[in-house]
Amino acid sequence: MAKIGVIGTGYVGLVTAVGFSELGHDVLGMDIDEEKISLLKKGASPIDEAGLEPVLRKNLEKGKLRFTTSIEEAMRFSEYVFVAVNTPVDEDGSADLSQVIDAVDSLASHLDHYAIIVIKSTVPVGTFELTEEILKLKGKIEGKDYDLASNPEFLREGKAYYDFMHPSRIIVGAKKKEVAEKVMSLYEGIDAPRLITSIQNAIVIKYASNAFLATRISFINEIANICEAIGADIADVKKGLGYDPRIGHHYLQPGIGYGGPCLPKDILALIRMSEQKGYYPQFLEAVHQKNEHQVRTVIFKIKNLLGRPLTGTKIGILGLTFKPETDDIRNSMTVRIIRRLIKEGAEVTAYDPGVKRVTERRGLSKLRLAQAPEDVFEGADLVAILTAWPQFRKLDWDALKGKMKAPRVLDAAYLFQEE
Ligand code: NAD
């Protein structure tokens, strides 16, 4: 069993730390966020992920899993160091590598024995060269003090712990096969297709996977909009389309567009990465533009249904998270739609089963957060379903429509058309 340090205990890092400890490794999770680490030390998960907290507690109690804010302690301990900090979108659409640079810089300062450094964060090409440069500046020699590997993550939020234990595939990229094999061996006990490849390939596999998922969403949204324009029913069209085994029914749900912490930023990063190397990926740009356009499409539908400008209207919103079964509202299209509604003078009340509070910095200070779904209907001119939480289907819709000023409901998440 190996000694594994995980730098950054957010969604990916925490799940990785808990998962590896469950596989029998000794794990030390490190984060600069003191509040997060103090919660984790008590066995409380800062994120709402099914099945995660009990395993976190169990392995804390067994001593297989520990947490710290000290990078020095993490580096002293680790044979493998997984970097799982965030790589948000930069102003120009490329990946913002500042967290990765900070993490590598501080781990390099405390690297006092050979360790394999594994980048789990989604990073563009060039990041590994940058990492080598930082390590070189600290006097560290590749092969003697460290080796590098790429191990992109494919988990789905909401099912993150399940996905760690039952991944669709495990991809490891490294310059040396033996380094990749060592990283791959950490996953012993997990049944999944495995691929050892180059670092470059591992990077593209991750970005291409997210670009493909984004493409499916933009595609089905395009078809849904065409259906509405020509009077066809997307529910049946989607069903008929998906019966083709080359297409399939999965990930073919129309809605307000893709959001969240991965797809929007990763498709943009892939576009910028490619542009910087001289190739303009027109097709991916169209996928992205289609998604941007979805916000305007939903606003247009709301105005159309209201038959009047938004000023002075009361709008109820069901759903804030970027998808159901998560508490994550990062980059949620819902938030963008609500901001737009508020900007145009609507009074907005929203409910989401996964969101207990919203912070003002997301530009939602005027949003009223309801504690029950029923509250968004009270005196509303229109209620829009923006996230397809299955429990919204079970509401007493007839009774709730009676509480509204007029029974206008927009199912922008196509909740009632989901299989
Ligand atoms: P996150 O923001 O939830 O977590 C990042 C963590 O890193 C935070 O807790 C932060 O405090 C910590 N951190 C930042 N700088 C640090 C430093 N110098 N030292 C130690 N800790 C530091 O991010 P996430 O959603 O877990 O994403 C991490 C990476 O994984 C990203 O590259 C993302 O694209 C990728 N990814 C995310 C998902 C997902 O569903 N969230 C899925 C696959 C891949």
In this prediction, residue 268 has a pLDDT band, given cuts at 50, 70 and 90, of: very high
In this prediction, residue 81 has a pLDDT band, given cuts at 50, 70 and 90, of: very high
pLDDT, residue 418, reads 63
pLDDT, residue 77, reads 98
The pick from 7, 12, 33, 75 for probing ligand 1's pocket by mutation, whose C-beta has the most ligand atoms within 8 angstroms, reads: 12
Nearest-CA residue for atom 4 of ligand 1: 10
In this prediction, residue 419 has a pLDDT band, given cuts at 50, 70 and 90, of: low
Summarize the confidence of residues 210-224 as an average pLDDT: 97
pLDDT, residue 135, reads 97
**Cβ neighbours of residue 372 under 8 Å, at least 6 residues apart?**
351
pLDDT, residue 92, reads 85
pLDDT, residue 377, reads 98
pLDDT in tens, 392-412: 999 999 999 999 999 999 999
Whole-Å CA distances, 51 to 65, 157, 192, 415: 16, 12, 20, 26
Q: Is the dihedral of CA 134, 136, 140, 141 positive or negative?
A: positive
Rounded to the nearest integer, the mean pLDDT of the chain is: 95
Catalytic residue among 262, 269, 320, 342: 262
- 227 catalytic? Reply is no
pLDDT, residue 356, reads 85
Domains of the chain: residue spans and CATH: 3-197 (3.40.50.720)
In this prediction, residue 360 has a pLDDT band, given cuts at 50, 70 and 90, of: low
Q: How far is the CA of 295 from the centre of ligand 1 (A)?
A: 27
Tell me how far apart the alpha carbons of residues 419 and 417 are, in angstroms, rounded to a whole number.
6
In this prediction, residue 361 has a pLDDT band, given cuts at 50, 70 and 90, of: low
In this prediction, residue 330 has a pLDDT band, given cuts at 50, 70 and 90, of: confident
> Residue 132 above 70 pLDDT?
yes
Nearest-CA residue for atom 30 of ligand 1: 121
In percent, the amount of the chain with pLDDT more than 90 equals 93
pLDDT in tens, 232-247: 999 999 999 999 999 9
pLDDT in tens, 20-70: 999 999 999 999 999 999 999 999 999 989 999 999 999 999 999 999 999
pLDDT, residue 417, reads 82
Nearest-CA residue for atom 23 of ligand 1: 86
Residue pair 320/358 in contact (Cβ under 8 Å)? The answer is: yes
Predicted TM-score (pTM) of this structure: 0.93
Residues within a 6 A CB radius of ligand 1: 7-13, 30-33, 36, 84-87, 99, 102-103, 106, 121-122, 153, 155, 157, 261-262
pLDDT, residue 265, reads 94
Tell me how far apart the alpha carbons of residues 387 and 342 are, in angstroms, rounded to a whole number.
18
